[in-house]
């Protein structure tokens, strides 16, 4: 991999170009270390997830992919020169996506990220994550009871913190059951990670101390709760999908919030 700084066009802040076994990263000059790290992580997330060979990210974190990219063009000349990355003959481009591993699970065998007890079904992973909450975290892990439906718009789970007689903290986790098992498994992983990371969130709970976890997924783009969630789900035996879930604002008073903390 090579890295360089160069003025880019169209508000682009960073490019990733992969061709013939080489990866070139380019960022605009003057970025802070934190911003540069964020853009590079974003590019690699897209590259790993989709295999595209030419990716850009702009100042609004918008990601685009080059539609044409020719094997016979020297990437150093095309992408590090003055031309636009899409310039070139109008011939149909070859398939330049990097060769993908046939089974992504093989990437983790024997590593610190491999499942503890092998790859398992969604339901087995959910059971393991619930046990993690109840045993390792001394908390409560329950399905959403029928009487609290319908839930506030977009809510997939709730997490609260209870206290015992000695003032020790214990997580209280509820996850809805009327959603696909894969989504439920990833939500359970996120809730377990959130239960030990409440000091790392910038959203306030409601008056009952309840955090509302949404169901709209997004990619894990760096360290934090979502990355911990993804690694936890994988250690329990499931290859996680996009594992970053939003924390929603407490429902308005017009909506009935689940009385779970009681």
Shared domain for 222 and 139, answered yes or no, is yes
Shared domain for 244 and 136, answered yes or no, is yes
| 122 is a domain residue | yes
Shared domain for 36 and 149, answered yes or no, is no
In sequence order, which residues have a C-beta less than 8 Å from that of residue 52 and are 6 or more positions away?
Answer: 46, 65, 66, 97
Alpha carbon distance 41, 244 (integer Å):
15
Q: What is the pLDDT of residue 129?
A: 97
| 95 is a domain residue | no
Q: What is the pLDDT of residue 246?
A: 95
Q: Report whether 175 contacts 215 (CB < 8 A).
A: no
| 161 is a domain residue | yes
Shared domain for 30 and 124, answered yes or no, is no
| 143 is a domain residue | yes
Q: What is the pLDDT of residue 102?
A: 54
Shared domain for 72 and 146, answered yes or no, is no
Shared domain for 69 and 189, answered yes or no, is no
Residue 244's H or E segment, with its range, is none
| 68 is a domain residue | yes
Shared domain for 139 and 52, answered yes or no, is no
Shared domain for 226 and 154, answered yes or no, is yes
Q: What is the pLDDT of residue 138?
A: 93
Phi, psi of 161 (to 5 degrees): -120, 125
Alpha carbon distance 78, 157 (integer Å):
48
Shared domain for 151 and 228, answered yes or no, is yes
Q: Tell me which residue range forms the domain holding 198.
A: 108-248
Q: What is the pLDDT of residue 108?
A: 75
Per-residue pLDDT tens listing for the chain (262 residues)? 888 999 988 889 999 988 777 888 999 999 999 999 999 988 888 887 766 778 889 988 888 876 444 443 444 444 444 444 444 433 343 444 444 545 666 777 778 888 999 999 999 999 999 999 999 999 999 999 989 888 888 999 999 988 888 888 899 999 999 999 999 999 999 999 999 998 888 888 898 889 999 999 998 888 899 999 999 999 999 999 999 999 999 887 544 445 554 4
Shared domain for 156 and 60, answered yes or no, is no
Q: How many domains does the chain have?
A: 2
In sequence order, which residues have a C-beta less than 8 Å from that of residue 43 and are 6 or more positions away?
Answer: 14, 15, 16, 25, 55, 57
Alpha carbon distance 78, 93 (integer Å):
15
Q: What is the pLDDT of residue 221?
A: 81
| 219 is a domain residue | yes
Shared domain for 116 and 200, answered yes or no, is yes
The pair of structure tokens assigned to 126 is: 């959910």
- What is the pTM for the complete model shown? 0.65
Please report where in the chains the tokens 């990210």 appear, as a residue: 57
């Amino acid at each position: 991999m090579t890295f360089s700084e160069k003025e880019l066009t169209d508000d682009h802040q960073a490019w990733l170009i992969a061709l013939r076994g080489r990866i070139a990263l380019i960022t605009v000059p003057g970025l802070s270390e934190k911003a540069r790290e964020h853009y590079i992580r974003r590019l690699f997330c897209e590259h790993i997830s989709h295999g595209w060979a030419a990716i850009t990210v702009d100042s609004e974190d918008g990601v685009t992919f080059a539609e044409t990219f020719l094997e016979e063009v020297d990437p150093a000349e095309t992408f590090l020169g003055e031309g636009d990355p899409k310039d070139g003959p109008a011939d149909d481009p070859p398939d330049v996506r990097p060769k993908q591993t046939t089974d992504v699970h093989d990437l983790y065998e024997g590593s610190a990220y491999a499942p503890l007890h092998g790859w398992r079904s969604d339901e087995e992973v959910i059971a393991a994550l619930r046990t993690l909450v109840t045993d390792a975290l001394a908390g409560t892990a329950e399905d959403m009871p029928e009487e609290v439906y319908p839930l506030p718009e977009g809510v997939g789970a709730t997490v609260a913190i209870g206290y015992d007689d000695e003032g020790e903290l214990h997580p209280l986790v509820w996850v809805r059951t009327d959603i696909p098992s894969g989504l439920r498994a990833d939500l359970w992983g996120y809730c377990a990670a959130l239960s030990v990371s409440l000091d790392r969130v910038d959203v306030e709970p409601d008056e009952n101390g309840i955090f509302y976890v949404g169901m709209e997924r997004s990619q894990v783009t760096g360290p934090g709760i979502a990355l911990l969630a993804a690694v936890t789900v994988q250690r329990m035996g499931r290859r996680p999908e996009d594992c970053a879930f939003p924390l929603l604002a407490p429902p308005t008073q017009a909506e009935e919030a689940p009385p779970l903390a009681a």
